[in-house]
Chain A
C-alpha cells in the first residue's frame, strides 16, 4: 500500500498545484 499512497500523493499534488496555478493566473490577469 506504500506505493499506492505515493501515487495518491502525486495525483493530489498535481491536482492541487494545477488548480492553484489556474486560479493564480486568473487573479493576476484580472
Chain B
C-alpha cells in the first residue's frame, strides 16, 4: 500500500485534488447561481437542480477543453518548435519527428518496447501520435460539450428575459460562446509560453520540469 502511494503520488494527488476542487466549484457555483437568481427576482434552486443544470455543465466543460487544448498543442507543438535553453524543449538540431533509431521504432525497438512500436506500418504510425491524438480528441469533445451545454444555458437566459432562443449553429457564432472559449485559451497560452521561457533562467530543484539548479542558462536539457 505504502509503495503504491509512493509510486503513484502524482496521479493520485492530482486526481484527488480534482475531485475536491470540483466539489468546491459545485458549492460555490450553486451559491453564485442563486445570488443571480435572487437578483433577477427568481426562485433559488436546490444543489441537485444546479448540478443538473446546463449552467454547471458549461462552466465545467469550458475549462476542460482549454486544458486539453493546451496539452495537445504542447505535445504536438514541441515536436516542431524549440525554445533554446528551456527544459521544456528539445535541442534545436532535433526539430521534427526524429529518426526511427532515436525513437526506438521498428527494427530499433527493444525487447520491452510497446508492441505497436515494433510492428511498423499504420499501427506504429498511430501509436507514434497517440498522445497528441487522444489529448486533441478530448479537447474536441469537451469543446463540443461546452457548446451544447452553453447553448442550453444561453437559451434559458434568453427565455427568462423574454427573448427568442437561438439555434446551436447561431450559438457557435455568438459572442458569449467565443468569450467563454477565448478567455480560457488566452490564459493557457500565456501560462505555457511563460513557463517555457521563465524555465530557461529559473530553477525548481528536484523537479523534472526544471533544469538542474547548476545548469547553464544556455543549456537546452530535456530533464533535470
Contacts and interface: CB of A to CB of B under 8 A. Distances in A.
A26 B145 contact: yes
A20 to B, nearest CB: 8
B64 A19 contact: yes
Interface residues of B, number: 32
Given A3-B8, A29-B156, A22 B149 contact: yes
- The SS class assigned to the B binding surface is helix
B170 interface: no
- The SS class assigned to the A binding surface is helix
A26 B4 contact: no
B8 A27 contact: no
Nearest to A25: B57
Interface in A4-27: 4, 7, 10-11, 14-15, 18-19, 21-23, 25-27
Nearest to B147: A26
Given A3-B7, A19-B64, A26 B152 contact: yes
Q: Top 5 nearest A-B pairs by Cβ distance?
A: A26-B148, A26-B149, A29-B152, A25-B57, A22-B57
Interface of B: 4, 7-8, 11-12, 15, 18, 52-54, 56-58, 60-61, 64, 138, 141-142, 144-153, 155-156, 168
Interface of A: 3-4, 7, 10-11, 14-15, 18-19, 21-23, 25-30
